[in-house]
Chains A and B, each alone.
Chain A
Amino acid sequence: MKKDFKYLINYLLGSLALLFIVAPIINMYFAADLDKIFSTARDSEVRNSIFFTLLISFLSTIVFALFSIPLAYLISKSKSWLKTILLGLVNIPIVIPHSAAGIALLGLVSRENPVGKFASSIGLNFVDSPLGIAIAMAYVSVPFLIISAYTGFKEIPEDLELASRNLGATRWQTFLNISIPLSGRSILAGIILMFSRGISEFGAVIMLAYFPTVTPVLIYKKFTTHGLEFAQPIALIFITICLLIFVVYYLFGIIGKNKS
């Protein structure tokens, strides 16, 4: 009996942890004023900001996926001691404060820096531009895609790739015809994670671009200028969108597991 009682402590502590996670969200939905929600949803500033945030995050995810998927593949195939270091490097954006990451990015792309100077000379401006928002979003969210794709590539039995080579495919053809389709689920999951992490980014984005206003910045702006009452409806709409993306990701994982 004593043992069972101790086990109940797990339930109690676990429930508190779960409550801590969901309570603010549930409270927000219960406290919501529907009229305000609908009027906020009709506000063109809010709608434009949400649409812009989704679009920029989507584009930045697609563009950076083209670079990060090959990187994930190369790391997964590496047998060198450098592999651990490379895996550590790609995780850096996760472990540093995002506002600090934004400052670091700003330092790199500002016109005082050779990189920024060169970008400017070919007409690319990162400060207060969609381009700056895109790289800020990508910088903090790309590790999620790389790690997810890396895990997918790692799970492919080496024999399948060897068989492909033996059947006449070059390394590139094997990558396209075997490795990518077989790790497709992990790559797509990584893309969804990167995209959803990108749309919710605030710290890094605000350092590079206050305008055009992405939704997390808009929520902050409304809160500092009009107070909680005006920030809450936008936050609720945005949370709902994020939750929908999360549900898609979650269902995707469940379907994937069942299929395999």
Chain B
Amino acid sequence: MLDLNNISYKIGNFSLKNVNLKIKNSEYHVLIGPSGSGKTLLLNIIAGFIKPSSGNVIFNNIDITKLPPEKRNISYLLQNLALFPHLNVYQNVYYSLKFIKLSSKEKENLVRKYMQITNIEHLEKRYPLNLSGGEKQRVALARCLAKQPSLLLLDEPFSAIDTLLKTDLKSILKKIKDTGVGILHVTHDPAEAINLADKISVIENGNIVSSKFEEINQDVPLSNFMAKFFGFKNFYQCKYNDENTVEIVDSENYNRIVIEKPTNFNHDCFVYIPPENIIVSETKLLSSARYNLTATVISVTEDFDSVILECDAGISISAKISKNSYIDLNISPGKKVWMSFKVSNLNFI
């Protein structure tokens, strides 16, 4: 659907360098990167607000690099939402159909349809000034969708809303994805990426440094960057070993362990095991957890209400346990423990 070929652009000291990115039909693609990595700049190029100095933007097999924004069938949810303050909610959503040749009845039906999908029907007559952050977000989303784009660009859509509304918006985005719209979502938040994405790409300093399904080259410490960027512990390279096993590689020191191949594993990628999902015990547990590793506690860090254990299980692995468990298990550095986790705790990226 979208194919960015060697996109380059320089602005001040920053530059996008030969960016290549592919997004397939109906794919939810998350582009993750720290602030100032070039995420928004790339979206602006795709939307046609900025012309790249070199490279091509191919959309549905047509080169749209020189096409003005209004001629691209791409909707862009800007980070600050950009609702028109002089128009009410209905008029804001209607705006995207104002310049399309459709009967007014058809336009009204489309506006109603997307207002319903985004749950904003009751806000129809309200002006943006009188909307909450979450409501504004849904109005902006409905406005983007009413245009019936093939691709939706989302710039940090969760940045300005609270946790409760995030859940709400996530379910709306999943609904949208199910309607066949491709989504390119840029964020700095790894949790969003893991929750929503079919595919994740990582951008750093204007370069796409990793994409899921790409070959992992052990000489390039991509995973180091990703782990560092994600701020995640337990972030490993995951390599296909043979039919029955996979290799988990610690990118810090290239230590590795071999584990039984999970059924949902079919390519080399990264894996993230949330520390809070790891069960720590003194003896091997008889449980549904498929992976049980013996480990030695290396260090203990007490947090406000929990304790982080850094352990050596062949690879460096961390577990987050409650203070009560920490006291009950009488854990101290050097102690041998068992660490257990389920297949569902392996987040492949």
Contact = CB atoms under 8 A, between A and B. Distances in A.
B136 to A, nearest CB: 13
A162 B84 contact: no
A68 B80 CA distance: 31
Given A167-B143, A168-B147, A162 B69 contact: yes
B59 to A, nearest CB: 14
Interface string B72-113: 001110101010111000000001111110000000000000
Nearest to A174: B70
B70 A163 contact: no
A84 interface: no
A168 B78 contact: no
B49 A169 contact: no
A166 B69 contact: yes
B47 interface: yes
A193 to B, nearest CB: 22
A243 B143 CA distance: 46
The 3 closest A-B pairs by CB, nearest first: A163-B82, A167-B96, A165-B69
Contacts of B180: none
A177 B100 CA distance: 15
Contacts of B262: none
Interface of B: 47-49, 68-70, 74-76, 78, 80, 82, 84-86, 95-100, 143-144, 147
A23 to B, nearest CB: 43
B85 A173 contact: no
A35 interface: no
Contacts of B48: 165-166
B99 A162 contact: no
B86 A167 contact: no
A167 to B, nearest CB: 4
A169 B70 contact: yes
Contacts of B82: 157, 159-160, 162-163
Interface string A49-63: 000000000000000
A166 B76 contact: yes
B84 A178 contact: yes
Contact of A166 (B75, B85, B86): B75
Interface centre among B49, B69, B144 (most CB of A within 10 A): B69
Contacts of B85: 182
B20 to A, nearest CB: 24
A181 B98 contact: no
Nearest to B71: A168
Contacts of B76: 163, 166
Contacts of A177: 95, 98
A170 interface: yes
B86 A165 contact: no
A125 interface: no
Nearest to A161: B82
Interface residues of A, number: 17
Interface in A164-213: 164-170, 173, 177-178, 181-182
21 contacts: A157-B80, A159-B80, A162-B82, A163-B78, A163-B84, A165-B48, A165-B69, A166-B49, A166-B69, A166-B70, A167-B75, A167-B96, A167-B144, A168-B97, A168-B98, A168-B99, A168-B147, A169-B70, A170-B68, A177-B95, A182-B84
Contacts of B95: 164, 167, 169, 177
Contact of A181 (B68, B69, B86, B143): B86
A168 B100 contact: yes
Contacts of A157: 80, 82
A145 B143 CA distance: 34
Nearest to A182: B86
Given A159-B82, A165-B48, A181-B86, 15 more contacts: A157-B80, A159-B78, A162-B49, A162-B69, A162-B78, A165-B69, A166-B49, A167-B99, A167-B144, A168-B97, A169-B98, A170-B68, A170-B99, A178-B84, A182-B84
A138 B144 CA distance: 44
Contacts of A163: 76, 78, 82, 84
A166 B43 CA distance: 12
A55 B74 CA distance: 49
Given A159-B78, A159-B80, A177-B98, A168 B86 contact: no
Contacts of A169: 70, 95, 98-99
Interface in A139-166: 157, 159-160, 162-166
B51 to A, nearest CB: 14
A167 B78 CA distance: 12
Contacts of B69: 162, 165-166
B87 to A, nearest CB: 9
Contacts of B75: 166-167
B84 A160 contact: yes
B49 A165 contact: yes
Interface string A17-44: 0000000000000000000000000000
B2 to A, nearest CB: 15
Contacts of B144: 167
